[in-house]
Structure 1
Amino acid sequence: MTDTIITVQGSYSTYYPAERATVTLSVHFESDTRDGAFNSATSSAVTVRESIVDMHDSQAGPITWWASDMVQVWSEKPWSNTGEQLPLVYHARINFSAKFSDFEALARWVEETAAIDGVTISHIAWDLTESRKTALTAEVRSRAVKDAVAKASVYAQSIGLGQVKAIALADPGMLGSEASGASELARARMSKAALMADGAGVSELSLKPEEIEVASVVDARFVAS
């Protein structure tokens, strides 16, 4: 009797609370002089940097890592609404990134830092620690394989066959099928920040991180008998 080959795709995903938040901000000023833009940007950047350094501790947090770009200075000649070229305008920008392990401290810091002249909070990305992500990735991969086995077993039973035996396991698309897989294997998807006012009329900023999805997809080929 000829063996029956069954090819399936197993998947598994689950959600876990975020453990880290990386905030990205910029200090930006413009002026009619280069020195004016540069001095204003560096002055506000010093205030931002001092607040970060005071909270930085790679182990205890609340800031476990941070980075800052060198000041960028450029100029442009804007145009008026009537098509006339206006005088030269100088810009200066300094970017910062800081990773927080304490989300309450993050909320307070964002609220205080956003009030500094020239500061714009541009993005907050939520994530898991690397050790946690590694452990969860192994778990969801295992569950994706079990899902593939269960799916193949159902297919085999539906045509009157019994046990299935795996003959190939691969990342999506590597078994030569047309489908490339809907999801990248075992990836943690960073969620966007949800920034909300903490009640009407209350100025304190509240951050509500979305949970992190860790997902895995595997292609599998079985022989059924």
Structure 2
Amino acid sequence: MTTEITVRGSFSAFQPPERGTVRATLGFEGPKMQPVYERVVRDLETVKASIAELHDPERGPVTWWSTQHVATWSRRPWNQDGKQLPLVHHAGVGIEVKFRDFGALGRWVGRHVESTQGFTLDGVEWALTEARRAQLAADARTRAVRDAATRAQEYADALGLGPVRPVALADAGMLGEGLQPTARGEVAFARAMAKDSGGELVLSPEDIEVAAVVDARFVAG
């Protein structure tokens, strides 16, 4: 008689990020639309020029960047007494800049936070390169399978059943009929802490977790 053993295998590792994508916004508001719009356009050209100085797709420090179209809108706010105030006109544009040199990233952000009035840092997304991510994800899946096999054999040994033999393998949560995978994402973007070092923005990104989870079914005995 054989005994069925079902286990979940997992593996995770941590890797320093290789790219940091800055997400920022340039925005202004005022009583008239034209001056607000022109201010955003003017500052956008200054920011784009500062990016172009650093842009090199192969060597960096900036490997890619993008800007959206300038958006405009107006709203009529209310004061604390419930009175509607005159129109306030807004203009804004989003910017994304991918860095491979994190020192240059901190200097670039610090420069514009200090000198560009309408510049707002929305966040930094940390990531691995696609090639490195794929390599680490494949290794994580392999190690997760090995972990499942080791667990199954340990259970079999505890029962004196002898060697186990695999009969099914799936992403976590998919061994049952009609189920969907519940595995964690292979790559989770890390947070970063910002420090002020003598007026210069210093970013300390956390390592990125690369993980895989599998379910496996074995028989023994």
Assess same fold via TM > 0.5. Answer: yes
Equivalent in the alignment of 1:11: 10
TM-score, normalisation: structure 1: 0.94
Equivalent in the alignment of 2:144: 144
SS at 1:60 equivalent = coil
1:206 is aligned to 2:205: no
**Cα distance, 1:13 vs. partner?**
0.2
1:129 is aligned to 2:125: no
1:57-136 correspondence runs (5 A): 57-115=56-114, 116-136=116-136
Answer with 170-179 or 121-130: which moved more. Answer: 170-179
Distance (whole Å) between structure 1 residues aligned to residue 138 and residue 175 of structure 2: 21
Equivalent in the alignment of 1:189: 188
Name the aligned partner's letter for residue 217 of structure 2. R
**Cα distance, 1:37 vs. partner?**
1.4
TM-score, normalisation: structure 2: 0.96
**Cα distance, 1:74 vs. partner?**
0.3
Equivalent in the alignment of 1:28: 27
Q: How many matched pairs?
A: 220
Answer with 131-140 or 169-178: which moved more. Answer: 169-178
CA contact (8 A) 1:123 1:193 kept: no
CA contact (8 A) 2:171 2:182 kept: no
SS at 2:27 equivalent = strand
RMSD: 1.5
**Cα distance, 1:125 vs. partner?**
1.0
Distance (whole Å) between structure 1 residues aligned to residue 72 and residue 208 of structure 2: 37
Give CA-to-partner distance per residue, 1:15-58, whole Å, 9 cap, x none. 01110000000001001111021011111111111111111111
SS at 2:66 equivalent = strand
Work out the percentage of aligned pairs sharing the same amino acid: 43
Name the aligned partner's letter for residue 204 of structure 1. E
CA contact (8 A) 1:181 1:217 kept: no
Structure 1: give runs of 5+ residues left out of the alignment: none
Equivalent in the alignment of 1:171: 171
CA contact (8 A) 2:174 2:181 kept: no
CA contact (8 A) 2:161 2:220 kept: yes
Name the aligned partner's letter for residue 162 of structure 2. G
Distance (whole Å) between structure 1 residues aligned to residue 174 and residue 45 of structure 2: 51
Name the aligned partner's letter for residue 196 of structure 2. A
